Amino acid sequence: MEKRKNPDQVTRLLSGNEAMALGAYHAGVKVATAYPGTPSTEILENIARFQNVYAEWSTNEKVALEVAMGASYTGARALTGMKHVGLNVAADPLMSASITGVKGGFVIVTADDPGMHSSQNEQDSRHYARLAKIPCLEPYDSQSAYNFMIKAFEISEMFDTPVLFRSTTRISHSKSVVRIYSDALNGSTQPGFIRQPEKYVMLPVFARARHPVIEKRIDKIKEYALDCSFNEVIPGNTKTGVISSSIAFQYAREVFLDASFLRLGMTYPLSENLIRKFASGVEKLIVIEELDPFLEEMIRSMGVEVTGKAFIPVTGELAPGVVARLARDHGLEVRYEKEQGELHEVELPARPPSMCPGCPHRGIFFVLARLSKRRKMLTANEKNTTNEPGVIITGDIGCYTLGAYPPLSAMDTCACMGAGIGQALGMEKAGLEDSLIAVIGDSTFMHSGMTSLADAIYNQSKITIIILDNMTTGMTGHQGHPGTGVSASGRQATQVKIEDVVRSMGVNRVEVLDAFDMENLRRAIKSAIDCEELSVLIVRGDCAPVRPRSHASRVVLAESCTRCHNCLKLACSAIHDDDGRVIINSDFCAGDNCGVCEQVCLSGAINIKGRTV
Amino acid sequence: MGTLNIIMTGIGGQGIILASDVIAEAAMVQGLDVKKTDSIGMAQRGGSVISHLRLGNIVNSPLIAEGDADILLGMEKLEAARAVIFLKEGGVALVNNYAVSPSYSKDGIKKYPDDNAVSKIIGFRTEKIHFVEGLKAARSLGNMRAMNIYLLGALSNYLPLTSDAWLISLKSRLPEKHLNVNLKAFKQGQKEANCAGIG
Ligand SMILES: Cc1ncc(C[n+]2csc(CCOP(=O)(O)OP(=O)(O)O)c2C)c(N)n1
């Protein structure tokens, strides 16, 4: 590949994700794949805007990693991006990519979510680097995200290894100033696959020979870590030495103003010599890291005395004030005099996340919530009286998970993407008498619902599966998936039709329903739970924010309103209760497109503004 | 200069992130260091949004510690009250005279605070509370979406950024077809706030 000329001093304000995308582009990435997931989504969205890079939304993270792995085998530089839980889905090919190694530089970005801003768990994905015996890089701002990304491809090729590039919500979603190189590396190498079964065909006989190779590889990277440009010592006083990485470094830097710092950009593997050298120059060694004591435990196992998680929590997101307070409480010298300021406790109404006005998921959840078998079961549950069968709704992940919140309360489980169908099947096979309904979004169905549907069909299940098809990946901001027929770069693509998939797999009872037709939804669900056959209902309606809004808002006719408040049970943020009087906010109402509130009103008091009754 | 810490808050759809991007870009144009981070809830629309922004010679953390914000710009009143925890003693609170009631259910929902309650809550931290008429201005401009930039104009009276830097930033961050109305909103916000003794 041709060498970069004079790096130009152009500065830009970039988020961590934008910086990673630009870094990858400037490193000559040729194939980029991802499945969306907060906070990682914008990496691929940004790469998809560059010329001469192939970018795709993959069906799920496992596929995404495999596609990028294949590209790397041809000598092309390849990147795959995902959120932390996505790496769990892709863990199998990750381990294999480690053992085969790469040809073109191969970077796997995982974005963790400390504090669980929008995730179902709070894992520290750095452990995967250790598990897979591959290097882990952690940027600490957008500039380092850009620089490290370029370097990541280089070390991947240098050591014949995939590189785990670990971000977090605050790295991905913070913006800061980045000096960029104006010229992209021209990634025009001709792809070529050289047959090398002993490297690429992991039959036991070949894999056995590869294992010592990857052990030697990690040892070599350890040596490299001693004075590589990812790690930096920032000299300060000799009293306190702080080892830190990622965003935690920025907090520590504010809290321990005069301390010496070892900022680690490569957090796996660690160079023992580097750590010892730094530790020997300071009286007290502390590690400040978010989530698990990943660095701390490795350092302690070197026999170096260190503290960190003795006062920094392993749960939740850190913040500068949090680090300051806990360090001070632990008796450490903290030069951070900011007023924490007590506030008088005032109870303010919460603003819980809710489905958008006009959301196609609202109607179906209202119907589910009000099925008489479910209502009886819920009230009975409170009093613990009856054993009559009710309705259990297993759920999945997406905007529709908001249906679990009151007042809808129409979801009973939510574990990980694609789990709902399997869970319903398990409950059925365990002998539960209740009706079982699994709800799953269209993107989630493509991601990991198809395999469990095959399981249900094969194993003679009689559950009801509702696919909530808003024709996009709503939760993460409207990305394409195979069912949408739109590619990552916005071009038309071959659509995988959900109803065709379901029918061809062997489901006979398949219905496609309009998400805004309440009467029909009610009928279809009742008949599906009453019949002794596996049913799939596809509830289809446009995702509200991507649909042009009609300006005809609905209004409540005060004289007809009996204040039954049925409409409030829809949890629509356009409808609110003003001391018993119901008001529809015309700035928010989705207007003509929805009309669910009009259909649930018992007294005909909701109408379109100006429409004659 | 030391760091100037700004908290901006409101609800999804109000353009808070865009407004804070404009400030950050203007600071960068002017050669300052700047960091910002946005926390958005799960919902695309309607949930609380908070943006932390810090500018100065060197900025480390993008997150502002509680009690350390110099300025709070609340684009919605309830959210302004909620975010006051970040404001330092004696900081400046600019509060848009705009209220959006959280949705739903008659049961268990706490009352939306009236203006007195909002002033009282913010008053625990500062006496410098200014209500700004963003809603009225946006309506008169005929574009609800320009509300954020109107408020940015009001806020600009407190920031050490030149009008050149603002202009370059507004031009680079706003879509061309909405640029004019937004420039107008910005100037109007700046002027009206100034006349009201804000800044
Ligand atoms: C393994 C994994 N990857 C990605 C995500 C992030 N994520 C949460 S929900 C979702 C997709 C939701 O799309 P869809 O099923 O169509 O439902 P919608 O939000 O549109 O209602 C994604 C990508 C996740 N939670 N887990």
- Interchain proximity A346–B81, CB inside 8 Å: yes
Per-residue pLDDT tens digits for A481-528: 999 999 999 999 999 999 999 999 999 999 999 999 999 999 999 999
Residue A7 has pLDDT above 70, yes or no: no
Per-residue pLDDT tens digits for A384-400: 566 789 999 999 999 99
User: Could you tell me if the CB of A476 is within 6 A of ligand 1?
Assistant: yes
CA–CA distance, A588 with B14 (Å, rounded to integer): 12
Bridge partners, A538 (sequence order): A467, A512
Residue A6 binned pLDDT confidence (cut-offs 50, 70, 90): very low
A418 Cα–ligand 1 center, Å? 9
pLDDT at B103: 67
pLDDT at B39: 84
CA–CA distance, A280 with A301 (Å, rounded to integer): 16
The residue among B61, B107, B119, B168 with the most chain A CBs within 10 A of its CB, best to mutate, is B61
- The domain spans of chain A are 9-227, 232-341, 362-546, 554-608
The residue among B63, B68, B111 with the most chain A CBs within 10 A of its CB, best to mutate, is B63
Global pTM value: 0.96
CA–CA distance, B196 with B174 (Å, rounded to integer): 27
Residue with token string 């353009």: B15
Q: Identify the CATH number of the domain in which residue B189 sits.
A: 3.40.920.10
**What CATH number was assigned to the domain covering residues A554-608?**
3.30.70.20
pLDDT at A384: 59
In angstroms, the first-to-last Cα distance of chain B is: 19
Check: CB of residue A538 under 8 Å from CB of residue A499: yes
CA–CA distance, A79 with A21 (Å, rounded to integer): 10
pLDDT at A603: 95
Per-residue pLDDT tens digits for B60-118: 999 999 999 999 999 999 999 999 999 999 999 999 999 988 765 444 556 788 899 99
Residue of B33, B40, B66 with shortest CB distance to A340: B66
Closest ligand 1 atom, residue A400 Cα: 21
Per-residue pLDDT tens digits for A539-561: 999 999 888 777 789 999 999 99
- Interchain proximity B60–A474, CB inside 8 Å: no
For residue A461, how many C-alpha atoms fall within 13 Å in the half-sphere facing its CB?
A: 30
Bridge partners, A234 (sequence order): A261
pLDDT at B131: 96
Mean pLDDT, all residues of chain A: 93
**What CATH number was assigned to the domain covering residues A232-341?**
3.40.50.920
Shortest alpha-carbon distance between residue B124 and chain A (Å): 7
User: Could you tell me if the CB of A480 is within 6 A of ligand 1?
Assistant: no
CA–CA distance, B54 with A419 (Å, rounded to integer): 42
Per-residue pLDDT tens digits for A134-161: 999 999 999 999 999 999 999 999 999 9
CA–CA distance, B4 with B55 (Å, rounded to integer): 5
In 3D space, the residue among A101, A198, A110 whose CA is nearest the CA of residue A158 turns out to be A101
CA–CA distance, A573 with A584 (Å, rounded to integer): 9
Closest ligand 1 atom, residue A38 Cα: 6
Residue B45 binned pLDDT confidence (cut-offs 50, 70, 90): low
Check: CB of residue A423 under 8 Å from CB of residue A584: no
pLDDT at B112: 84
Q: How large is the average pLDDT for residues A464-476?
A: 97
pLDDT at A113: 97
Going by their DSSP bridges, the two strands B33-40 and A174-180 should be labelled as antiparallel
Sheet of strand A535-540: strand arrangement: A391-394, A435-441, A464-469, A535-540, A509-514
Residue A2 has pLDDT above 60, yes or no: no
Q: What are phi and psi of A231, to 5 degrees?
A: -105, 145
What does the block give as tokens for B79? Answer: 């959210």
CA–CA distance, A377 with A435 (Å, rounded to integer): 11
**Structural domain count of chain B:** 1
Q: How many CB pairs under 8 A join A and B?
A: 177
pLDDT at A1: 38
Give contacts of B35 with chain A, Cβ < 8 Å.
141, 174-176
Q: What angle do CA A530, A533, A537 make, to 5 degrees?
A: 80
pLDDT at A550: 73
What does the block give as tokens for A401? Answer: 């998970």
Per-residue pLDDT tens digits for A221-270: 999 999 999 999 999 999 999 999 999 999 999 999 999 999 999 999 99
What 3 state SS string does A337-376 have? CCCCCCCCCCCCCCCCCCCCCCCCCHHHHHHHHCCHHHHH
Better pLDDT: A135 or A577: A135
Bridge partners, B74 (sequence order): B9, B95
In angstroms, the first-to-last Cα distance of chain A is: 72
* CB burial string B73-105: b at 16+ within 10 A, e below: bbbbbbbbbbbbbbbbeebbbbbbebebbbbbb
- Percent of chain A clearing pLDDT 70 (strictly above): 94
Q: Which CATH architecture has domain A362-546?
A: 3-Layer(aba) Sandwich (3.40)
What does the block give as tokens for B5? Answer: 């810490």
E strand residue ranges, A269-351 = 284-288
CA–CA distance, A217 with B193 (Å, rounded to integer): 63
User: Could you tell me if the CB of A421 is within 6 A of ligand 1?
Assistant: no
Asked whether this chain's domains A9-227 and A554-608 adopt the same fold, the reply is no
CA–CA distance, B117 with B131 (Å, rounded to integer): 13
pLDDT at A587: 84
Check: CB of residue A178 under 8 Å from CB of residue A140: no
Residue of B33, B43, B61 with shortest CB distance to A177: B33
Residue A256 CA: distances (Å) to CA of A158, A246, A332, A420: 36, 16, 9, 47
pLDDT at A378: 75
**What CATH number was assigned to the domain covering residues A9-227?**
3.40.50.970
pLDDT at B106: 42
Residue A186 binned pLDDT confidence (cut-offs 50, 70, 90): low
Q: Which of residues 547-586 of A touch B (CB under 8 A)?
A: 565, 568-578, 580, 585
Give contacts of A350 with chain B, Cβ < 8 Å.
102, 110
Check: CB of residue A122 under 8 Å from CB of residue A114: yes
Check: CB of residue A409 under 8 Å from CB of residue A415: no
Residue of B42, B67, B109 with shortest CB distance to A349: B109
Find the closest chain A residue to B107 by CA distance: A407
| Parent domain of B45 | 4-195
Residue B19 has pLDDT above 80, yes or no: yes
